[in-house]
Amino acid sequence: MTFKEHIQQGIPNILPKPKPFDFEINHAPKRKDILSFEEKKLALRNALRYFEPQHHAELIEEFSNELKMYGRIYMYRFRPDYQMYARPISEYPGKCEQAKAIMLMIQNNLDNAVAQHPHELITYGGNGAIFQNWAQYLLTMQYLSEMTDEQTLAMYSGHPMGLFPSHTEAPRVVVTNGMVIPNYSKPDDWEKFNALGVSQYGQMTAGSYMYIGPQGIVHGTTITVLNGFRKIKRSPEGGLFVTSGLGGMSGAQPKAGNIAGCITVCAEVNAKITHIRHSQGWVNEVIENLDDLVKRVVLAKANKEIVSIAYLGNVVHVWERFQEENIHIDLGSDQTSLHNPWAGGYYPADTSFEEANEMMATNPELFKVKVQETLRRHTAAINKHTANGTYFFDYGNAFLLEASRAGADVMAENHIDFRYPSYVQDIMGPMCFDYGFGPFRWVCASGKPEDLQKTDAIACQVLEEMAKTAPSEIQQQIQDNIRWIKGAQENKLVVGSQARILYADAEGRIKIAEAFNQAIAKGEIGTVILGRDHHDVSGTDSPYRETSNIYDGSRFTADMAIQNVIGDSFRGATWVSIHNGGGVGWGEVINGGFGMVLDGTKEASRRLESMLFWDVNNGIARRNWARNEGAIFAIKRAMEKQPLLKVTIPNEVDDKLF
């Protein structure tokens, strides 16, 4: 069969032969054995309902073995034989250009070069899934190939519920992930529901089909590192940034350090992913010995090098050894997947990677004890460095939250707040999000590098024009992004689809998108798919990350994220998503995203202006109401530009009255 025929077939009537386990691919760790005997029977019933009854006898033993071996039923047999990557949009079958664009983005998220655990359908973060099993993938792609402009596909945690009649202005796909009842959002609840095949953890852009490889987080980390050095009033030149994690998101850190212009040491316990990042050019050097690492860093500091070094080992040993050697760390953070601490997100010190994985599956209680011991050690070492002037920030991965739960010394003197800020609380919130600047991204659906080059030039031209008249409050943000987009090609940031990201406010996003749409109409470039990271001004309610600089008591509410996705739905988004969990953990955050296809039409122009304006200003309005100074400035400016916008401005209370 041709590629198109494979897609249109969906779940095959004739069973494909079982596939051998591919040991060359980075696989998800074995999940804990959490289901009772009756629940395992239910998990098998749930898996077999995708297949005709005549196949059940052959599949039930196989699926039972998968559940026993891996803790999940992935249906490896049904993984397609064709190569998984984002093809040009013209190569996808279908009746609807928007549906073809979504198929492109799904396959990009499962590309072996993009996804963390591609055969388990996990894009990043250890458990950020697009689907729970391969039957869901096959059925979803089939539905999209059949979809018309007057249908909407409903996605329930990876399961395609079906195509429903709608209309041309409705979203083509509505995605929900992990939206369980609040009282059932504990980590073991996720393990259970995921093992049963009824819910999944979509992370942020994984389950929204909007992940573009590490580039997205490279940009955010670059902005964070630049502003971190500004905060401590020193140049990145010769400065040392120490962190950990080289996975799907965290792997961006060394590249970001290079772009910012500092020395980066990033520890990682997984040898396979470390060497993948090195081969991809995301990190300059790999060192496996602490003595060698110390000598290399001392030399780099003396020569004021711009270099990124991956240390293959536990980051705790780096913090401890650098303290012993009196090596000053300027910036410190952590980007391990601590939202997922008991299932491979964070590894204990003094235990090999292989031993830890075995312990995780066979003795999860001991694994938890070891992880919490390591968190206490990790924190103690950081505290010694910060006492000597290191600026440490939580990178929104639940490091401080899990360290506090482990009994580590991370609390402030008031015993309420953490002693270290979140990077959003201290840097991204007040400097970017309050002013409406966040991660706007696009994908060139033609797959042509020349289209990406043209869109880079268009975006740069728009930003440079905006900078001529922009107020002083947002000049730094615009200039940082002009610098970024000018260096984007030379930094070779593309992994998978021809995609780009930059930080822009509503005005910038609308102007850039409109310029793209006009270029498409003139035939200068092909179709463009717009999106953003959920890690943005308006899409996410996360009290320890995106909304950590909200101080009116509302940071634990999720009205903003829900309003965001509802508003995007009827203002023209091509697809929308809303998730429980993402970045900081299941039950710790609600986040929403969107995708929008630009095809050069007047309808696309109308939709992009309506939707992008709301998508940003919904969040600014909420931040304004929380009395955030930058957001008050930004929403007043938005009201001056758009007379139909009328937002309540908070009144300040004189402290003396108390």
**Structure tokens belonging to residue 234:** 């020193």
344 is in an annotated binding site: no
268 is in an annotated binding site: yes
Residue whose C-alpha is closest to residue 507's, from 618, 640, 609, 649: 609
Residue whose C-alpha is closest to residue 541's, from 626, 627, 651, 645: 626
Residue whose C-alpha is closest to residue 133's, from 147, 143, 119, 146: 119
| Cα 568–Cα 569–Cα 573 angle in degrees, nearest 5 | 70
DSSP 418: B
> Which ranges in 111-238 belong to alpha helices (H)?
134-146, 187-196, 215-231
Query: Which of helix, strand or coil describes residue 246?
Result: coil
Give residue for tokens 């360290």: 403
d(CA 466, CA 460): 10
d(CA 593, CA 173): 12
Residue whose C-alpha is closest to residue 529's, from 570, 498, 493, 485: 498
Report the C-alpha dihedral over residues 393, 394, 400, 401, rounded to 10 degrees: 150
d(CA 35, CA 58): 22
**Structure tokens belonging to residue 627:** 């009395």
Report the C-alpha dihedral over residues 271, 272, 277, 281, rounded to 10 degrees: 100
Q: What's the residue count for the chain? A: 658
261 is in an annotated binding site: no
d(CA 247, CA 8): 33
- Determine contact, residues 622/560, Cβ cutoff 8 Å: yes
126 is in an annotated binding site: yes
d(CA 443, CA 77): 31
213 is in an annotated binding site: no
- Determine contact, residues 500/216, Cβ cutoff 8 Å: no
β-bridge partners, 151: 165
Amino acid occupying residue 554: S
User: In which region does residue 326 sit, left (phi positive, over 0), alpha (psi from -120 to 50) or beta (all else)?
Assistant: left
SS (H, E, C) 198-262: CCCCCCCCCCCCCCECEHHHHHHHHHHHHHHHHHCCCCCCCCEEEEECCCCCHHHHHHHHHHHCC
335 is in an annotated binding site: no
d(CA 407, CA 384): 17
DSSP-assigned letters across all residues of 427-445: IIHHHTGGGT-EEEEEEET
Amino acid occupying residue 348: P
| Cα 284–Cα 288–Cα 294 angle in degrees, nearest 5 | 80
Residue whose C-alpha is closest to residue 611's, from 532, 527, 549: 532
- Residues annotated in a binding site for NAD(+): 125-126, 203, 268, 395, 583
- Residues annotated in a binding site: 125-126, 203, 268, 395, 583
